[in-house]
Amino acid sequence: MSISANLSMAPNAQSDPEAFAFSDLPTLISISAKERPSSTAVVAGVLRIDYANLNAQMLKVAASLQRAGLHAQDCIAICAESSYAYLSVFLGALHAGISVAPLSPSATAGQILAMVKDSNAKLLFVDESTSVALAASDFSLPKEVDLIQLGDGEEKTFNQWLVRTTDLADNVSISPDWAFNIIYSSGTTGTPKGIVHSHQMRWLQMQYMPHFGYTSKTVTLIATPLYSNTTMTALLPTLAFGGCVVLLPKFEAGVYLELAQREHVTHAMLVPVQYQRLMSYPNFGKYNLDSFLVKFSTSAPLSAELKSDIVARWPGAFVEFYGMTEGGGTCMLVSHLHPNKFHTVGKPVDGHDFRVIDEQGAEVPKGAVGEIVGRSATMMMGYHNQPGKTTEAEWTNAQGQRYIRTGDVGRFDEDGFLILLDRRKDMIISGGFNVYPSDIESVLRKHLSVQDAAVVGAPSVDWGEVPVAFVVLKEAANISTDEILEWTNSQVGKTQRLKGLRFINELPLSPIGKVLKRELRDRW
């Protein structure tokens, strides 16, 4: 059966947690090491690691953690670029029943310290660049937290720390309700919150992926950072089903395409800004990408125009996921099967329940606009050490069932496809009217001189807030801010008219491609 045919069937893999007997990722890797020891598990630069060696390294890390005094349900933190060492530390911790807090190297020293403390991490693993950056600040770890450097350097290095034996002091039986990871939010709205996922949640997510063609023949190119939940969605099932993971630490369009062609990549998870750079790469059409079965997109809005271009020029199925790191619900748009729905993020996956609520928390009629809330078997355990924030992120229906609030405003169309309008926090209330920045941004992007745009609310004495825009011009464009402002305001409604516009070389983005609108509001 073809991938397209499978996708159209919309299976119910996540709706019944009891349908799949629980297993854990380290156990599945060990099985692959026994059954297919010489099969390639990881490609990282010049390294090609088979399952026998990956399993042995995982056991050495687990044994090293136990020797260092860590026990099941403790936590470690990793702050580094993607590498084989990073991946082996992550897997070794899981094998010992220890959860992992993967931290962004782009965070400030103060944020990293706060996240290490919040996660109660016993060890912090860093690469050389992170170590140098921290050394240049007044960063100082609590005395009970040891620092291990994944590369060569003056600090205690990973190879010095790693034991040579694969024998564990204690064989750990992992419980489904134990924490798998603590993933910290991007912090686009303030201080990052630690989102706790259980082994059970990750297990259920992995059970859905054979539906997308994940097998032992899968080759997944990972070009998003290992600290991102986006990455986990594609990486974990690849290893769970005995496939091959190709790591690309720093994304560059040309390098990505070279790797995809050379390694005969079958699966990829990318964020919209990466798709944009790949599709605009001058030599895109010269690469043979016929090996691709499925490409995924998530984490940020993807324009209808870009979806159309990907479907037209990149072989294989193209699937957009809408959901949150916190879990709660997933919508899926099988783009190549629904070309008339590119303006949507698809329909809820079977077993995932979405509702739309108003400001008072009451459900709105079908087709009405409101905040999206979702519920499924795959939801976070909560925000680490923040029960109050966890409660704020939840909505309970009349039957007492728990939903996760997405913070997104949208509506479902007559066919049950979800149309996103904006982030609730980004919605502009001007003179009592709700103004959705995404509506104005879509108009701005239609201007022949505009490459990209972001609209935010600026304070106004008369109206409370008014919409203002930051615009990235196309190369060689010769136009003034007044000209674009006048053109845009002629295309939008009265309450949507821009009160200001500035040119900017590039929009500030989070590491996974989300526009940092809080930063733009501060700039204004």
Tokens coding 194? 């630690």
Tokens coding 144? 């009970």
pLDDT recorded at residue 513: 76
CATH number of 427-523: 3.30.300.30
Tokens coding 407? 């913070």
| Listed range (183-187, 209-213, 304-308, 378-382) with the worst mean pLDDT | 183-187
> Which pTM does this prediction carry?
0.84
Closest residue by Cα to residue 330 from 3, 12, 19: 12
Tokens coding 114? 């706060």
Q: Which overall architecture, per CATH, does domain 51-175 show?
A: 3-Layer(aba) Sandwich (3.40)
Per domain, the residue ranges of the chain are 51-175, 352-422, 427-523
Neighbours of 412 (CB within 10 A): 20
Closest residue by Cα to residue 510 from 196, 221, 271, 324: 271
The mean pLDDT of 246-254, rounded to a whole number, is: 96
Radius of gyration of the chain (CA): 23
**Fold agreement between 352-422 and 427-523:** no
- In order, the DSSP letters of 356-384 are EE-TTSPBPPTT--EEEEEE-S-B--EET
Higher pLDDT, 433 or 199: 199
The mean pLDDT of 225-252, rounded to a whole number, is: 95
First and final CA of the chain: distance in angstroms? 53
pLDDT recorded at residue 20: 57
Tokens coding 160? 């010095």
**Separation of alpha carbons 273 and 442, rounded Å:** 16
The mean pLDDT of 84-88, rounded to a whole number, is: 97
**Separation of alpha carbons 167 and 96, rounded Å:** 12
| Listed range (142-156, 319-333, 438-452, 479-493) with the worst mean pLDDT | 142-156
> Has residue 11 got a pLDDT over 80?
no
CATH number of 352-422: 2.30.38.10
Amino acid identity of residue 88, one-letter, is: S
Higher pLDDT, 149 or 190: 149
461-501 pLDDT, tens digit per residue, is 878 889 999 999 998 899 999 999 999 999 988 889 999 99
Length of the chain: 524
